[in-house]
Structure 1
Amino acid sequence: MSPSPRRPTLADRLQAQWLSGGALSAALLPLSWLYGALLALRRLAYLFGLKRVETLPVPVIVVGNWIVGGAGKTPTTLALLELLRARGLRAGVVSRGYGREGDSVRLVSRAATAREVGDEPLLIHLRGRVPVAVGRDRIAAARALLAAHPELDLLVSDDGLQHWRLPRRLSLLVFDERGLGNGRLLPAGPLRQPPEVLADDHLVIYNAPQPSTALPGFVAERRLTGAVPLAGWWGGERVTLDALLALRNRPGLLAVAGIARPQRFFDMLAAQGLQCDALALPDHADFATLPWSADAAGVVLTEKDAVKLPPERVGALPVWVVALDFSPGAAFEAALDAQLQRLFPSRWIND
């Protein structure tokens, strides 16, 4: 299953060179050196007390990455929230809310729209069933969330690894198949920060079939767990594998994905036996205009896209939401338990 071919853009060429290098990447090296120098100065400002890490009354776990693009932070965050819930810990989430209108702090509610709070924070609130606050200032967002929900035991920051004002007691570093790319900093390469030796308060997760860097870590398993009609998804119905498999022989299906790496979604659908035309949209596509033709026979899409598509928008068109299960594995759970026992030494962590 492949998207309709289109002429590569400058952004496409640059992202290709972020993996292997090339003339365009080399030409941008001076800007990368400048970016690296600014990062170093910022770190020195924290080291010498010119800037300071803020304090919060509960521990913070940051889920982030060194590489730009969709490495799998949101699926990792959702999986982490389930593990924390299973251990009796009440977690809330803070996020910048990429792509939303405005930068002010806002508590996410079911009535909010992706345009107001961002698609990923809204998905985390709905799917993760946890309180979420968004804001460019994550410290202000964290304090607002704790004021509204003083019962929370800890906070999870969806992204924010380079937001050094934010205190963190544990960092989950997520990589996908790209690893470190060409090893260069932005904009000559995909790295947000230079690679560094990791302290004991870091865990590495590979959202890939195998490790893609030399860092020791845990390989997660990802699979499609099922499908549910769009109206049912908004109503809180569970996805089922039977509903997904029933789409195998449905003619004229269109698979739509407005995520960082849409081909991964298309390939997973094909692996389940679905025969679909593929429509790749830009990451965080807002669905202000429906991207399919009026004569579409049926659509399957991701949960990240579903949060921007209330059922009344699609009329009588059959639309199914396909969910992804992301499992970091038993070895990761054991490592997480050891970290949680460090963070909550007086609290019993269930096996």
Structure 2
Amino acid sequence: MIEKIWSGQSPLWLLLLPLSWLYGLVSNLIRLSYRLGLRKSWRASVPVVVVGNLTAGGNGKTPVVVWLVEQLQQRGVRVGVVSRGYGGKAERYPLVLDAQTSSTQAGDEPVLIFQRTGASVAVSPVRREAVQALQNLAQPQIIITDDGLQHYALARDYEIVVVDGVRRFGNGWWLPAGPMRERTSRLRDVDAVIVNGGTPEAGEIAMQLLPSQAVNLLTGEKRDASTLNDVVAMAGIGHPPRFFATLESLGVKPISQYSLSDHQALTEAEVAAFARPDQTLLMTEKDAVKCRAFAHANWWFLPVDAKLATPAADKLLSDILSLVR
């Protein structure tokens, strides 16, 4: 239903307009207060790059963070990542992740980034505190923030916005009548716009999410997804249809599909109920982060990697490396 409202297909968005006007007013006043100097942004001693979005829902932001971290690491740069840690509830903040940190503590996306890249990752509702923790412990040369485009309390040196190239900006209205956190005019101020799928417009960087082999949660075995039998698909991400479309492109035809809420907490009993032991439960990597501690032998996940078009991607990396130098 929410997709129909945000796309304008359902007239219910009209009923939500008053709330959207209020959201937009508050959002604009917050940003204006920083621009006028009524509120002060805290600046780190190293460059800060924000990877965020203008809309709610999954746009492919976290794969872009992973791609950027890996690209910088390959060039010898020490990278730190900070996040709000949405969905996690730590005993205290800031929380610097280690091999024992669970998604229940830190949220699924920070744990995924830590496991994929090995970079220093810290979470805190106050992102400044997460940055300070990393500076004290890991001494990174650059900080990447996973989300936080609208968190103006943290000064930034480079802003990247990730856009869903198929859904774009829906009906263009602020939450909750539409998907917008900020209006599209904000794009004029950012340094780069990355478009996930669809057809990029002038000046935008094209990106694709490319799946690799499926991985067994329990053993680490890898197989082509198309060789898995009796597949039941599960996706607890911002936009589950994207995952199901990826499976279809690989020739996987699930017996059934389950769409879960983004950042939804999962228990062993809940996940085990989706598929019988003689079936294959195939999930996203983000879901797998939450299920590793109680994984079953028939549970698999499908990693995806961001691939950005060149030479625009090379220019983006060059710009960010210049901040480090």
TM over 0.5: yes
Q: Distance in 2 between matches of 1:67 and 1:200?
A: 16
| Aligned-partner residue type, residue 47 of structure 2 | P
Match of 1:257 in 2: 235
Match of 1:108 in 2: 97
Equivalent pair of 1:222/1:324 in contact (CA under 8 Å): yes
**Gap regions ≥5 residues in structure 1:** 1-11, 234-238
| Aligned-partner residue type, residue 43 of structure 2 | T
Partner of residue 65 from structure 1, selected from 41, 47, 53: 53
Bigger mean CA deviation after superposition, 99-108 or 265-274: 99-108
Residues 10-159 of structure 1 aligned to structure 2 (within 5 Å): 12=1, 14-20=2-8, 22-102=10-90, 104-150=93-139, 152-159=140-147
Match of 2:287 in 1: 305
Partner of residue 220 from structure 1, selected from 207, 224, 228: 207
Classify the secondary structure of the residue corresponding to 2:12. helix
| Aligned-partner residue type, residue 56 of structure 1 | A
* C-alpha displacement of 1:48: 2.7
Give the percent of matched residue pairs that are identical in Structure 1 and Structure 2.
Answer: 35
Equivalent pair of 2:79/2:143 in contact (CA under 8 Å): yes
Count of matched residue positions in the alignment of Structure 1 and Structure 2 = 319
Match of 1:290 in 2: 270
Classify the secondary structure of the residue corresponding to 2:193. strand
Classify the secondary structure of the residue corresponding to 2:149. coil
| Aligned-partner residue type, residue 210 of structure 1 | T
Q: Does 1:274 align with 2:261?
A: no
Q: Distance in 2 between matches of 1:96 and 1:137?
A: 7
Bigger mean CA deviation after superposition, 325-334 or 191-200: 191-200
Match of 2:149 in 1: 161
Match of 1:333 in 2: 313
* C-alpha displacement of 1:293: 4.4
Classify the secondary structure of the residue corresponding to 1:77. helix
Equivalent pair of 1:95/1:135 in contact (CA under 8 Å): yes
Equivalent pair of 2:83/2:123 in contact (CA under 8 Å): yes
Bigger mean CA deviation after superposition, 14-23 or 162-171: 14-23
Q: Distance in 2 between matches of 1:129 and 1:65?
A: 24
Match of 1:318 in 2: 298
* C-alpha displacement of 1:21: 5.5
| Aligned-partner residue type, residue 240 of structure 2 | P
Partner of residue 229 from structure 1, selected from 205, 216, 228: 216
Taking structure 1 as reference, are residues 197 and 215 closer, same or farther at Cα in structure 2, changes over 3 Å only? Answer: farther
Bigger mean CA deviation after superposition, 276-285 or 53-62: 276-285
Q: After superposition, what is the alpha-carbon deviation per residue over 1:84-139, rounded to whole angstroms, capped at 9, x for unaligned?
A: 11222111100001111257321111101111100000000001210100010001
Classify the secondary structure of the residue corresponding to 1:310. helix
Classify the secondary structure of the residue corresponding to 1:256. strand
Taking structure 1 as reference, are residues 174 and 112 closer, same or farther at Cα in structure 2, changes over 3 Å only? Answer: same
| Aligned-partner residue type, residue 203 of structure 1 | A
> Superposition RMSD on alpha carbons, in Å?
2.0
Q: Distance in 1 between matches of 2:186 and 2:29?
A: 19
Match of 1:236 in 2: none
* C-alpha displacement of 1:187: 1.3
* C-alpha displacement of 1:44: 2.5
Equivalent pair of 2:205/2:313 in contact (CA under 8 Å): no
* C-alpha displacement of 1:307: 0.8
* C-alpha displacement of 1:49: 2.0
Taking structure 1 as reference, are residues 153 and 26 closer, same or farther at Cα in structure 2, changes over 3 Å only? Answer: same
Classify the secondary structure of the residue corresponding to 1:196. helix
Equivalent pair of 2:187/2:193 in contact (CA under 8 Å): no
Equivalent pair of 2:218/2:295 in contact (CA under 8 Å): no
Q: Distance in 2 between matches of 1:56 and 1:137?
A: 13
Classify the secondary structure of the residue corresponding to 2:270. coil
User: What TM-score results when the alignment is normalised by the length of structure 2?
Assistant: 0.91
Q: Distance in 2 between matches of 1:40 and 1:113?
A: 36
Q: Distance in 2 between matches of 1:67 and 1:170?
A: 19
| Runs of 4+, deviation exceeding 3 Å | 197-201, 293-296
* C-alpha displacement of 1:329: 2.2
Q: After superposition, what is the alpha-carbon deviation per residue over 1:48-68, rounded to whole angstroms, capped at 9, x for unaligned?
A: 322111111100010000010
Q: After superposition, what is the alpha-carbon deviation per residue over 1:172-209, rounded to whole angstroms, capped at 9, x for unaligned?
A: 10000211110111111110012225457511100113
* C-alpha displacement of 1:338: 3.5
